């Protein structure tokens, strides 16, 4: 009798495992259809998934996102309201519901969702970013940048708050230093995306204007850190020299900046992780390659490609270093 029970439960286990594998394959295929824009196929996939595994949080989150993509905002909000009630609801569930409310410009309920989300996830970089974007949609940029900077403080390795803060300071031209530093941190956290290319352009243009002395760093109403940054930068700034490319001039200027910053022990009195990372690149002999990666493609793609061809070993070393020493603010 025990032998028969063992066979019975083994058979059930095999069937259950096979069904689970089929559902997982359907889930992966449905996500691919959604990503590829094959929405009719994705809709059929979700219909079947909801019948077979309708309590799966990941399936429900993707189902919410699918409804956002297909502009079925009423359904997205309906599903989103249900999943944030679950004990296993994560940051993304609040993000998705907030996106649904933002899509229909229901900002009152959107704010309530984010405030509720913060009670469960007080250090959520995702929610601070979404909250900031909601304020931006209302054209309330003062509150928007406040949320993005709170997000940077709460979750310093989440990239989107840096992206939006950089775009804000570049657009408003209210803090060149934050434009430069938020932008460069973003490029190191999110190194190879379309957004990275956008921020690299802003960094290049901002630095070029400083080198050409079209703009100047602030001299008053700044923090102690910004005062130290301004003083150090102004002491080492190198103006445009005949025959040198801007990436080369920037490498020289920024090298002098780091040497001065660390020689004066500013890294102790005004610690800043980005500068520690750049100092390590300098010590590894990779700072030139890093600056070429950061500024070269924007300055002149053809010249950058020539540099890569003539500095193949250095370029490969930097790429290896970049992948093995991930930029992560402690």
Q: Is the pLDDT of residue 53 over 70?
A: yes
Q: Between residues 22 and 6, which one has the greater pLDDT? A: 22
CA distance 204 to 293: 12
Cβ neighbors of 234 (< 8 A, separation 6 or more) are 217
CA distance 68 to 74: 9
- Nearest CA to 129 out of 109, 105, 149 is that of 149
CA distance 31 to 124: 25
Residue pair 130/113 in contact (Cβ under 8 Å)? The answer is: no
Instruction: Please state the φ and ψ torsions of residue 37, each to the nearest 5 degrees.
Output: 80, 15
CA distance 219 to 212: 18
SS3 annotation, 68-134: HHCCCHHHHHHHHHHHCCCCCCCHHHHHHHHHHHHHCCCHHHHHHHHHHHHHHCCCCHHHHHHHHHH
pTM: predicted TM-score of the whole model, two decimal places: 0.91
Residue pair 155/125 in contact (Cβ under 8 Å)? The answer is: yes
CA distance 317 to 310: 14
What pLDDT, on a 0 to 100 scale, did the predictor assign at position 196? Answer: 98
Where does the pLDDT of residue 4 fall: very low under 50, low under 70, confident under 90, or very high at 90 and above? Answer: very low
Q: How many CA atoms lie within 13 A of 320 on its CB side?
A: 7
CA distance 188 to 274: 9
Average pLDDT over residues 200-210: 96
Q: Is the pLDDT of residue 35 over 50?
A: yes
- Nearest CA to 183 out of 229, 151, 257, 191 is that of 191
- pLDDT digits 0-9 by tens, 119-128: 999 999 999 9
What pLDDT, on a 0 to 100 scale, did the predictor assign at position 18? Answer: 54
Where does the pLDDT of residue 219 fall: very low under 50, low under 70, confident under 90, or very high at 90 and above? Answer: confident
Q: Is the pLDDT of residue 43 over 50?
A: yes
What pLDDT, on a 0 to 100 scale, did the predictor assign at position 9? Answer: 42
What is the pLDDT of the chain when averaged over all its residues?
Answer: 92
Which run of H or E residues covers position 170? helix 159-172
Report helix, strand and coil shares of the chain as percent, to nearest 5.
Answer: 75, 0, 25
Where does the pLDDT of residue 238 fall: very low under 50, low under 70, confident under 90, or very high at 90 and above? Answer: confident
- pLDDT digits 0-9 by tens, 55-74: 999 999 999 999 999 999 99
SS3 annotation, 262-300: HHCCHHHHCCCHHHHHHHHHHHCCCHHHHHHHHHHHHHC
Q: Calculate Rg over the CA atoms of the chain.
A: 25
**Percent of the chain scoring above 70 in pLDDT:** 93
What pLDDT, on a 0 to 100 scale, did the predictor assign at position 3? Answer: 52
CA distance 58 to 43: 16
- pLDDT digits 0-9 by tens, 144-187: 999 999 999 999 999 999 999 999 999 999 999 999 999 999 99
């Amino acid at each position: 009798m025990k032998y028969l029970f063992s066979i019975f439960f083994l058979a059930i286990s095999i069937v259950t495992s096979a069904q689970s594998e089929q559902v997982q394959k359907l889930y992966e295929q449905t996500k691919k259809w959604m990503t590829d824009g094959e929405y009719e196929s994705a809709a059929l996939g979700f219909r079947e998934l909801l019948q077979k595994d309708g309590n799966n949080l990941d399936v429900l989150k993707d189902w919410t996102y699918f409804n956002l993509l297909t502009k079925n905002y009423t359904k997205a909000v309906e599903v989103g309201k249900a999943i944030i009630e679950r004990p296993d609801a994560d940051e993304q569930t609040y993000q998705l519901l907030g996106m649904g409310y933002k899509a229909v410009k229901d900002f009152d309920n959107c704010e309530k969702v984010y405030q509720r989300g913060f009670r469960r996830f007080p250090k959520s970089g995702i929610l601070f970013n979404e909250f900031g974007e909601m304020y931006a949609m209302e054209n309330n940029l003062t509150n928007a940048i406040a949320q993005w900077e709170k997000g940077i403080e709460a979750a310093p390795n989440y990239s989107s708050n840096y992206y939006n803060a950089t775009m804000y300071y570049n657009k408003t031209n209210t803090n060149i230093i934050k434009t430069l530093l938020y932008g460069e941190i973003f490029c190191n956290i999110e190194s190879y995306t379309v957004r990275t290319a956008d921020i690299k352009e802003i960094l290049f243009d901002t630095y070029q204007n400083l080198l050409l002395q079209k703009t100047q760093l602030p001299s008053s109403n700044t923090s102690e850190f910004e005062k130290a940054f301004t003083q150090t930068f102004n002491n080492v700034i190198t103006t445009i020299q005949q025959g040198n490319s801007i990436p080369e001039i920037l490498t020289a200027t920024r090298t002098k900046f780091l040497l001065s910053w660390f020689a004066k022990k500013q890294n102790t009195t005004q610690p800043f992780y980005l500068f520690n990372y750049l100092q390590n690149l300098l010590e590894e002999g990779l700072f030139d390659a890093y600056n070429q990666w950061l500024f070269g493609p924007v300055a002149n793609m053809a010249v950058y490609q020539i540099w890569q061809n003539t500095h193949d070993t250095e370029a490969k070393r930097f790429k290896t270093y970049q992948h093995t020493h991930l930029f992560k603010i402690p």
